[in-house]
């Protein structure tokens, strides 16, 4: 499964940004891709799952650090997944990756897993 994350950039604290994750050759839907999520790697920190979506039942899971500010969604043709990021903070700075789970449909499990299929990600910098 080939996924391409895009939409990163420089944004001021309090600003918003939308990241996109586009699929090629596959539909982001159950059973091809049971779950999909956004992971983040902040400078000097390990990668963490921050927003995940089950394509089976559309249940979402968010890390406490982004809950209430970030929203994961999927477009109607199920080819693109988005991450709407509002009220951005400097600690949101990092490289963001979209990651599929090809085996399980739990959004919670995906966000708490250690995926190996990362891709290049997209860089988000929150700074004034």
Q: What is the pLDDT of residues 45-84, one digit of tens each?
A: 999 999 999 999 999 999 999 999 999 999 988 899 999 9
For residue 120, name the pLDDT band (cuts at 50, 70, 90): confident
Residue 45: CA count within 13 A, CB half-sphere: 14
Question: Whose CA is closest to 107, among 74, 69, 68?
Answer: 74
Supply the pLDDT for residue 67: 98
Supply the pLDDT for residue 116: 84
For the residues 86-91, what does the mean pLDDT come to? 98
For the residues 104-121, what does the mean pLDDT come to? 91
β-strand 35-41 against 48-54: which pairing, if any?
antiparallel
Task: Please state, rounded to an integer, the average pLDDT across all residues of the chain.
Answer: 94
Distance from C-alpha of 73 to C-alpha of 111, rounded to nearest angstrom: 15
Q: Which helix (H) or strand (E) holds 109?
A: helix 107-111
For residue 2, name the pLDDT band (cuts at 50, 70, 90): confident
* Beta-ladder partners of 17: 85
């Amino acid at each position: 499964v080939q996924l391409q994350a895009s939409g990163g950039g420089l944004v001021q604290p309090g600003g918003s940004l939308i990241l996109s994750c586009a699929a090629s050759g596959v539909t982001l839907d159950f059973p091809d891709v049971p779950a999909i999520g956004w992971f983040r790697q902040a400078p000097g920190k390990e990668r963490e799952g921050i927003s995940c979506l089950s394509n089976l039942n559309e249940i979402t899971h968010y890390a406490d650090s982004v809950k209430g500010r970030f929203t994961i969604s999927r477009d109607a043709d199920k080819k693109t997944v988005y991450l709407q990021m509002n009220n951005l903070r400097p600690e949101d700075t990092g490289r963001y990756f979209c990651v599929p789970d090809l085996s399980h449909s739990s959004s919670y499990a995906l966000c708490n897993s250690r995926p190996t299929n990362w891709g290049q990600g997209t860089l988000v910098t929150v700074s004034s």
